[in-house]
Chain A
Amino acid sequence: MKEPTNVPRPFWPPLVAGVALGVTVLFTFLLTGNGLGASGAFARTAAWLGGESAKTNAYLGAFWQNGHPLNNWIDWVVVGVFLGALLSAVNSGRFRWKLEGAAAIGTGQRIATAFLGGVLAGFGSRIAAGCTSGLGLSGGATLAVSAFVFLALFFVTGIVVSRMMPKGE
């Protein structure tokens, strides 16, 4: 049995979350001149972890041009996303320390799918020069053509590939 304090509060209705997210994207554009993003932080993390070999790499070397790769706005955004989600989850009683999806497909397989999905997303984000938030959401807000090309292929591929995945994942 769960304690009463552990009962999670419901998620926000999609309309409320969507309006809040749209206003946040708008606010971010006014503050910085660009929208929200995330994937750049992981490119910078790779540049940092790669150390000396990253500095001489044709792609990652650029992230070392202006000081430490992690000393950048996009890195603070991703740290903020973690903190904001933590705040929201704890505040709403929704924080759960778990490996989500493991109950359906097993721990080993869930670790493998999470890792493989990350590899695909990390690699893909460098080819698109952005991700769902940086290109799809923020680019979409500027009515960029590439954002809608990205979103269309993102959804179609997601639908096709999820049909091949084990159920409950």
Chain B
Amino acid sequence: MPFYDYSLASGLLCGILFGYILESAGFGSACKLTAQFRFSDWSVLKVMFTAIVVAAVGLYALSSAGVIAYRDLYVPPAHLGGAAIGGVLIGAGFAVGGYCPGTAASALGSGRWDGLIFMIGMVVGVALFAAGYDTFGAWVNLGTIQTERLPELLGISEPVLLALFALLAAAIFWFGSRVERQQGGALTAEALDAR
């Protein structure tokens, strides 16, 4: 493993599961998604961190068992400058437009046509990047370091790092839920209808 199955069926299956879960979490709604940035709804951080911990622990367990090897998986290269600039722009885009690329598709699926407008904007954004590729292309590789993964960079063993991430996730749930209660609770599907 892995199977390197890039067929249409594989893509649709992974996408349908992804979209079903995003909508079920409430991530087809710009109001709910952006409420995270105002700290009134912590669902984005809670779901994201839980998913990262679950998948990371799963990958670690499978690699320890010899089922998979990280070198056979796609680990994003450590272009830290590019990742930082992209993080700033996508974070700004999320605050302004209410979505990121995946959640925009989920929004359109749940009937929010601002998701479609966001997607049209993304295509225009890519076109601008392509038009100025002579300049912007170099930004992609800015700040590249050779160490791709955190355990090697920090010199912390993988199980310890995963345990720290799990603790961090638990802390996010505890603290986030506390703040949510003070602000009247996370946004419900019914509350969104009233908007």
From known contacts A94-B23, A100-B107, A143-B161, infer whether A126 and B140 are also in contact, taking CB-CB under 8 Å. Answer: yes
Question: Are A94 and B110 in contact, CB atoms less than 8 angstroms apart?
Answer: yes
Which listed residue, A23, A116, A119, A149, touches B84 by the CB 8 Å rule?
Answer: A149
Report the Cα distance A117→B102, complex, angstroms: 13
8 Å CB contact of B46 from A18, A101, A146: A18
**Measured between alpha carbons, how far is A167 from B146 in the docked complex, in Å?**
43
Q: In whole angstroms, how far apart are the Cα atoms of A142 and B14 in the complex?
A: 18
B76 touches A139 (CB 8 A): yes
* Interface residues in A147-169 (C-beta closer than 8 Å to B): 147-162, 165, 168-169
Dominant SS among interface residues on chain B:
helix
B: number of interface residues (CB 8 Å): 134
- Contacting residue for B134 out of A14, A28, A58, A129, CB 8 A: A58
A124 to chain B, nearest CB (A): 3
On chain A, the number of residues with a Cβ less than 8 Å from chain B's Cβ atoms is 129
Question: In the complex the two chains form, is B114's CB within 8 Å of A22's CB?
Answer: no
Query: What separation, in Å, do the CA atoms of A123 and B78 have in the docked complex?
Result: 19
Q: Closest approach, in angstroms, between the C-beta of B140 and any C-beta of chain A?
A: 6
Does the CB pair A14–B47 fall under 8 Å? yes
Q: Identify which of A26, A38, A104, A128 contacts B86 (C-beta below 8 A).
A: A128
* B-chain residues with CB within 8 Å of residue A154 when the two chains form the complex: 87-88, 90-91, 94
Can you sample 23 A-B contacts with CB below 8 Å?
A2-B193, A8-B189, A11-B32, A17-B47, A18-B25, A22-B53, A30-B3, A83-B109, A88-B19, A100-B30, A118-B123, A118-B125, A119-B121, A120-B93, A121-B93, A122-B123, A132-B101, A138-B74, A141-B59, A150-B83, A153-B84, A155-B91, A158-B36
Chain B residues engaging chain A, CB cutoff 8 angstroms: 1-8, 10-26, 28-32, 34, 36-38, 42-43, 45-56, 58-59, 62, 68, 70, 72-80, 82-115, 117-131, 133-134, 136-137, 139-140, 145, 147-151, 153, 158, 161, 173, 186, 188-190, 192-193, 195
- Supplied contacts A26-B62, A125-B126, A145-B150, 14 more A-B pairs, CB within 8 Å: A14-B173, A27-B17, A58-B130, A59-B129, A80-B15, A80-B17, A82-B109, A95-B111, A100-B192, A115-B121, A120-B121, A128-B140, A132-B100, A153-B88
Footprint of B on A, CB under 8 Å? Answer: 2, 7-12, 14-15, 17-39, 41-43, 45-46, 49-50, 54, 57-60, 72-89, 92, 94-104, 110-111, 113-162, 165, 168-169
